[in-house]
Amino acid sequence: MNSQPVAQIPGVYHRRIGDIVVTTISDGYLDGTLEVMRNVDVEKARQILTDSFRPARRTSVNTFLIHSKGRIAIIDTGSGNYLQPTAGFVQRNLASAGIDPKSIDTVLLTHMHPDHSAGLTDMSNGQLLFPNAELVMHENELAHWFDDGAMAKADERSAKLYFLSGREQVAPYKNRTRLFRDGELFPGVTAVPSLGHTPGHTAYLVASGNDQLMIWGDTVHVPEVQTAFPEAGMAFDTDLAAAAAARKRMFDRVSADGILIAGMHLHFPAFSRLARRGDAYALYPEAWVHAL
């Protein structure tokens, strides 16, 4: 008698962008409440999720590999062993994809929140999880999260979860860290600063031939709600107004130009299109493609 399956297939999905292959590596998901949303009626937000057959607030966490001209980069690292047990699967899914973390030469961070940077370092022993990688991020990130004055203004939870833990996560990479303001970081990958969610929050445009993909970081956390109400933000936005303005600019850009998008908190495997619908937007996940 055949036994029933007890686990899902690995969270790995490949998408070709011209000569570049982008691979979504799932870190899992994080559950939470809608009370952390701002500038939106919570009951309206809850109804949107109910109508979309979604749990209250289940936030997918994705990272993305960039395979380009013999190099392998990863955008964000997931939450490591720092957050909920439903996340922290990047290393397992890298292994399923046949990727040795030692072969990854560059880690690009969208920002230093723990669901993006806690997978840099094993927080139990300080071991680098990407031992041969250069760490690359916007210059505002280190300036902000290493600012003792800014940390002193934060509440105790935020000081520990964002400032102190962020410092621990990036400290082992101190001698291999490169900061940028904007521009092309290596062939085919260009930084698109989208400041507000954090002071250095950055999207990355992947382009090859006639193909483009905007990996837009944390432009949204609750996609069903924030596409319907673009002004809706999160309690953990460093600058709520700036984050909303950046989100609207990004929405306008990708919808007007028809750019394929992916995001750290779009539902796996994350590749989607965004279309404007009056004052709101609609998100259309791309059909699964089996061939590269």
Model confidence at 81, in pLDDT bands (50, 70, 90)?
A: confident
Decide if 156 is inside a domain. yes
- As for how many domains the chain has, the answer is 1
Which residue is listed with tokens 């969208």? 110
Does residue 5 sit within a domain?
no
Q: Assign 28 to helix, strand or coil.
A: strand
Mean pLDDT of the chain: 96
Residues contacting residue 266 through CB under 8 Å, at least 6 positions apart: 60, 62, 220, 223, 272, 283, 285
Evaluate whether residue 3 is within a structural domain. no
Query: Which CATH number fits the domain that encloses residue 245?
Result: 3.60.15.10
Chain-centroid distance, C-alpha 67: 18
- Closest C-alpha among 115, 44, 116, 120 to residue 84: 115
SS3 50: helix
pLDDT at 221 (0 to 100): 98
**291 assigned to some structural domain:** no
d(CA 191, CA 205): 6
Q: Cα separation of 191 and 189, whole Å?
A: 7
Q: What integer is the mean pLDDT of 17-42?
A: 97
pLDDT-based confidence at residue 126 (cuts at 50, 70, 90):
confident
- Torsion, Cα of 183, 19, 102, 169 (10° steps): 30
What is the tens place of the pLDDT at every residue in 183-204? Answer: 999 999 999 999 999 999 999 9
Return the pLDDT at 38: 98
Residue 74 placed within a domain: yes
Residue 292 lies in a domain: no
User: Max alpha carbon distance in the chain (Å)?
Assistant: 64
Domain enclosing residue 112, as ranges: 12-285
- Retrieve residue 99's tokens: 């990727």
Amino acid identity of residue 259, one-letter, is I
Per-residue model confidence (pLDDT) at position 2: 77
Indicate if the pLDDT at residue 153 is higher than 90: yes
Lowest mean pLDDT across 90-99, 119-128, 183-192: 119-128
CA angle in degrees (0–180, nearest 5) for 142-144-150: 145
- Within a domain: residue 264? yes
Q: Check: CB of residue 119 under 8 Å from CB of residue 101.
A: no
pLDDT confidence of residue 55: 77
Q: Is residue 1's pLDDT more than 70?
A: no
**Structural domain includes residue 290:** no
